Chain A
Amino acid sequence: GQNIDQPTEMTATEGAIVQINCTYQTSGFNGLFWYQQHAGEAPTFLSYNVLDGLEEKGRFSSFLSRSKGYSYLLLKELQMKDSASYLCAVRSGSGGSYIPTFGRGTSLIVHP
């Protein structure tokens, strides 16, 4: 089976940097997603990592280490609107299976 762990909640200050970690145990790893979900809304795609390393996209970056079963999402220059839940999801299975397994999400609270 799959197991995905993320911290339940984090707080940070506006303008700061925050790193949200995700660890996973899975077989047949095919890729890792990060999504942002504001309360009562749908998830929005942030990133997808297949290979090891850091991928940067504006204020958000995502890192993957397949050997360690570890990823993080880095948010820079935090804004109040970044207060949301951040979901880590791992795509796994044989034959290029798509099926993603989601973590419980990390609720990020940004305060002034």
Chain B
Amino acid sequence: EPEVTQTPSHQVTQMGQEVILRCVPISNHLYFYWYRQILGQKVEFLVSFYNNEISEKSEIFDDQFSVERPDGSNFTLKIRSTKLEDSAMYFCASRDLAGATYEQYFGPGTRLTVT
């Protein structure tokens, strides 16, 4: 069964450093998303991406964040200058175009720890 994959599973970085979180969505999917979940808190939407551009973003997704689909398979989230409060689990998700269920498939997540 196809699945969304994410690398790395755990990333430790120092405050102020740049990090790139990588995702490989399911191959025939066209919508891609990033979410984050701070430990013990709610899942929060960051951004959605379709047709090589951002379709929606939340207030959290400020200028320090960016997304890119550098090739036909990868989807990345870059955090330019990490802050302590960026420590969270980051989930990538994808869905296909067909159907009205809006069913998304989540990857296993990348745990980002900023020290």
Contact = CB atoms under 8 A, between A and B. Distances in A.
Interface string B78-104: 000000000000010000000011111
Question: Which secondary structure dominates chain B's binding surface?
Answer: loop
Interface stretch (A9-17, A20-28, A67-75, A98-106): A98-106
A97 B58 CA distance: 11
Interface residues of B, number: 20
Contacts of A33: 102
A92 B44 CA distance: 14
Contacts of B107: 42
A33 B43 CA distance: 13
A48 B101 contact: yes
A46 B101 CA distance: 10
A100 B45 CA distance: 7
Contact of B42 (A41, A48, A99, A104): A104
B105 interface: yes
Nearest to B102: A48
A53 interface: no
Interface in A65-112: 87, 89, 91, 97-105
Interface string B46-66: 001000000110100000000
Nearest to A43: B106
Nearest to A105: B42
A42 B102 contact: no
B104 A42 contact: no
Interface of A: 31, 33, 35, 37, 41-45, 48, 50, 87, 89, 91, 97-105
